[in-house]
Structures are given as structure tokens and as C-alpha cells.
């Protein structure tokens, strides 16, 4: 795996990106929320970062908030 992929997966801002993309998926149907969460899940499985439970929580919270706002 390329070293820049590890750096992005280790960044705490990746969780903010997942939250925003999952939230915007309810408003803008072209947002790739499933792809974003899946890519971060693959990174979590291979590197341990971000934590899987935290990733699931952030993605669910973003999707819920996007549904509430829409």
C-alpha cells in the first residue's frame, strides 16, 4: 500500500470527511458515501487507522443528520 494512503488514513480529518460526505449523500445523490466509507474501512482493516467502531459511528451520525436535514 502506498505510504500516502497510510498518511491519509491516519489523519483525524478523514473522519470529518466521512461525516460530511455521508451527510451530503441525503441531499446530493451523487455524493459517493458508500465508496468513501468502504475505502476507509479497507484502510482501517489494513492499517488499524481509523478505528473501525469510530468510523461506523461517524458514518452513521453523518447519514442520520443528512436525513434529518433533508
**Residue-wise pLDDT tens digits, 12-62:** 899 999 999 999 998 888 889 999 999 999 888 888 888 999 999 999 999
Q: How far apart are CA 27 and CA 9, in angstroms?
A: 26
Instruction: Return the sign of the alpha-carbon dihedral for residues 11, 8, 46, 60.
Output: positive
Q: Supply the pLDDT for residue 4.
A: 76
Give the pTM: 0.88
Domain containing 10: what range? 3-69
Domain count of the chain? 1
Amino acid at each position: 500500500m502506498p505510504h500516502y494512503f497510510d498518511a491519509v488514513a491516519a489523519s483525524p480529518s478523514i473522519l470529518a470527511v466521512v461525516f460530511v460526505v455521508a451527510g451530503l449523500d441525503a441531499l446530493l445523490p451523487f455524493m459517493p458515501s458508500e465508496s468513501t466509507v468502504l475505502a476507509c474501512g479497507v484502510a482501517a482493516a489494513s492499517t488499524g487507522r481509523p478505528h473501525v467502531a469510530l468510523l461506523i459511528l461517524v458514518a452513521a451520525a453523518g447519514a442520520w443528520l443528512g436525513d434529518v436535514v433533508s
